[in-house]
Structure 1
Amino acid sequence: MKIGILQCDDVLEQLQPRHGNYPEMIRRLLLAVDNDLEFVVYRVLDQQLPEHPAACDAYITTGSRHGVNDGHDWVNRLADFVALLYREQRKLVGICFGHQLMAKALGGEVVQSDKGWGIGVSFNQVDKTQPWMTPPSRALDLVVSHQDQVSRLPADAEVLAGSPFCPFYMVQYRDHFLGIQGHPEFSRPYSADLMATRQERFPPHRYREALASLGAEVDDLLLARWILAFMRS
């Protein structure tokens, strides 16, 4: 299977020697459960997009420090490409920023949450299980890093997992779009290092809670299996 990685940001330069860049994180995650995959990276933040929706068997986005409402030209172009993928019924998995852009491109709404930053590990309940979610699980716990959230869902949206903090955590649109607010590709050490570079942005108690949450197990490999099964379903 040929997977197109839609790169929407770069890891901070000082963190790349230890953790790699975002496409490397995506490759590392998915190859851990299937080593027979091919990847093509498109730096959409530099206006690079696939020439045609059929260029790859499926696509996945990275996260981004930018917001879907920031008005950047590359974000608007990516939103148009996301809408095209939906019309063409091509498989797309949106991670964090990509999850939010997917919702906005299809007619939903994304806002800065009044609940503040989601950082550390988030703990979510799976409310609906699909056939590709094997092995099944009632929980989906992942590293997160976001201020914005999907506040209004577009048509065709089906919520699969959420929490009181983030009700629309994992959302499926028909058979070919899947959005996930969490970061299965982020390791817990990377989360700790990233939070340290942004510590002044967080209330002190929230930062301490997030650091403590990194001691919990996460479902990164489980979600990697789900993502590949979804892409092949």
Structure 2
Amino acid sequence: MRIGLLQCDDVAPELRGTHGNYPEMFERLFHRVDPGLEFRVWRCLDGEIPDDVDAVDAWLTTGSKFGVNDGLAWVDALEAFVRRLWVAGKPLVGICFGHQLMARALGGEVAKSARGWGVGLSFNRVLEQADWMTPWQAGLDLVVSHQDQVERLPPGARVLAGSDFCPFYLMQMGEHFLGVQGHPEFSKAYSRDLMGLRRDLVGDNRVREGKASLSAPVDDTLMVRWILNFMKRAMEGGGDDG
């Protein structure tokens, strides 16, 4: 499978030497599940937006320190490309910022959460079992780092997992769009270092809570298996009754 990575940010220079940049994070994690995957990267944050929806088999959008409501020209251009993927029926999975961008592109709303920053590990209930969720489990716990989140779903979206903090954590749109607020590509070590870097923004108490949450197991490999199952199913044009 050829996956197009729509890169929407760079890891901070202070952390890049230790943890790598976003493409390395995704490749390292996904290759643990399927070493044969091929990645092609578009640096959307530099205005490099794909012009061919069929350039790869499936698409993946990274997170970003930028917001979907920031009014940036490259974000608007990427949103237009997301709508092209939707019309073309191409598989797309959005991570954090990508999740939010998909929602907004299809008519949802994104805003800063009144609950403040989500950092560390998030604990979510799986509300609906889709048949690509194999192996199955009833919870989905991933590293997060966000202020913005989806506040109103796009028409027809199905919420598959959520929590009181982030009700629309995992959502499916049609048979080929999937968005998740968490970061399966973030290691616990990177999460810890990122919280340290953003302490002034996030706040001491929230950082303390976030670091404590990292003692729990994380479902990063499970999420990758679900993503690849979803992509393959979408490529085959298979339906899902949920």
TM over 0.5, yes or no? Answer: yes
1:142 matched to which residue of 2?
Answer: 142
Computed over aligned residues only, the root mean square deviation of the Cα atoms, in angstroms, reads: 0.6
2:174 matched to which residue of 1?
Answer: 174
Provide the TM-score with structure 1 as the length reference.
0.99
Give 1:29 deviation, angstroms.
1.1
Q: Distance in 1 between matches of 2:203 and 2:111?
A: 20
Secondary structure at the aligned position of 1:124 is classed as strand
1:229 matched to which residue of 2?
Answer: 229
* Residue type of the alignment partner of 1:213: S
2:163 matched to which residue of 1?
Answer: 163
Instruction: Report matched runs for 1:112-131 at 5 Å.
Output: 112-131=112-131
Secondary structure at the aligned position of 1:55 is classed as coil
Q: Distance in 2 between matches of 1:128 and 1:88?
A: 26
1:86 matched to which residue of 2?
Answer: 86
* Residue type of the alignment partner of 1:79: E
1:208 matched to which residue of 2?
Answer: 208
Give 1:202 deviation, angstroms.
2.3
Secondary structure at the aligned position of 1:140 is classed as strand
Instruction: Report matched runs for 1:49-88 at 5 Å.
Output: 49-88=49-88
Deviations 1:53-85 (A, max 9, x none): 011100001100000000000000000000110
Q: Distance in 1 between matches of 2:200 and 2:45?
A: 26
Instruction: Report matched runs for 1:191-202 at 5 Å.
Output: 191-202=191-202
Q: Distance in 2 between matches of 1:206 and 1:85?
A: 37
* Residue type of the alignment partner of 1:153: L
2:105 matched to which residue of 1?
Answer: 105
User: Is contact 2:196–2:207 with CA below 8 Å preserved after alignment?
Assistant: no
Deviations 1:15-66 (A, max 9, x none): 1111000011111111110011111000001111222101110000110000
Give 1:14 deviation, angstroms.
1.3
1:24 matched to which residue of 2?
Answer: 24
Give 1:98 deviation, angstroms.
0.2
Q: Distance in 1 between matches of 2:56 and 2:183?
A: 22
1:14 matched to which residue of 2?
Answer: 14
Give 1:205 deviation, angstroms.
1.9
Secondary structure at the aligned position of 2:92 is classed as strand
Higher deviation after alignment, 24-33 or 200-209: 200-209
Number of aligned positions between the proteins = 233
% same residue: 59
User: Is contact 2:141–2:219 with CA below 8 Å preserved after alignment?
Assistant: yes
User: Is contact 2:44–2:78 with CA below 8 Å preserved after alignment?
Assistant: yes
Q: Distance in 2 between matches of 1:33 and 1:190?
A: 20
Give 1:203 deviation, angstroms.
3.0
Q: Distance in 2 between matches of 1:29 and 1:203?
A: 29
Unaligned runs of 5+ in 2: 234-242
Q: Distance in 1 between matches of 2:199 and 2:45?
A: 25
1:219 matched to which residue of 2?
Answer: 219
